[in-house]
Structure 1
Amino acid sequence: MDKTAEKLTPFVLLFTRLVVGYLFLIHGTVKLFEFPFPNKGGAVSAMSILGVGGILEVVGGILIALGLFTRFTGFILAGLMAVAYFFFHASLENWLHPIVNRGELASIYCMVFLIYMVIGPGKWSLDEWLKNRNR
């Protein structure tokens, strides 16, 4: 089983990066452009706190999907999701209950981005390609 898992690791990291990056990108495009779906409150201003978050979601989603600057991007996005959780979801009464305060997605994204920060993007990424190209 260990050898199979080792062989599958690059595929799983690539697939996970593509899915997480795409989903995060879509969060940003909905906020900023109401694309591909309308946003309940309409598009937010890029100069608002939600707009800055949307910009980070778009740019960060693309970078994660490509596996480019992955560790740095993971660090920034984990921080963004921690801020999203503690400032927009958690309150004094329910900060430890993400299912109640609707912060479970921010919590999960935060943990996933911390994983990317620690383990990197994997073998099939632009980071790896750039590293090997410069040798």
Structure 2
Amino acid sequence: AALMAAIAERIAGHGGAGLFIDYGHLEPGFGDTLQAVRRHDHEDVLANPGGADLTAHVDFAALAAAVREHGLQAELTTQSEFLLGMGLLERAGALGALADDVARQAISEAVKRLAGPDAMGELFKVMKILPAAKTG
């Protein structure tokens, strides 16, 4: 929260925008999000000290609140909604139109992994930081 407040202060004072993508949740919740990942699999956080990556899910709602305290807009969404809105399917279609069957299958699998509901599409979240909308 302190780092996000510093980033928001910088954007508010000097202009610009921010885009943050990570796995986490959009709404505050209860429970332990600390996890260990080793060799692309989850394991007990105490099983291999120093041998596994320790991570925690980002609380995007708390970060958005820190941003809004600096008068900026914070928009939250899933990675799936973000990528689809940015034209992921159209880009994949354009690439697939020029590709052979093997490449088309690889493109399709990549789209499913990045935007699919059972993959990164729902697990990863996106926060956009924008200057406050001007009225009048």
Q: Is TM > 0.5 for Structure 1 vs Structure 2?
A: no
Query: TM-score per shorter chain, which class?
Result: under 0.3
Q: Which has the larger radius of gyration?
A: 2
Q: TM-score, normalised by structure 2?
A: 0.27
Q: Which is helix-richer, 1 or 2?
A: 1
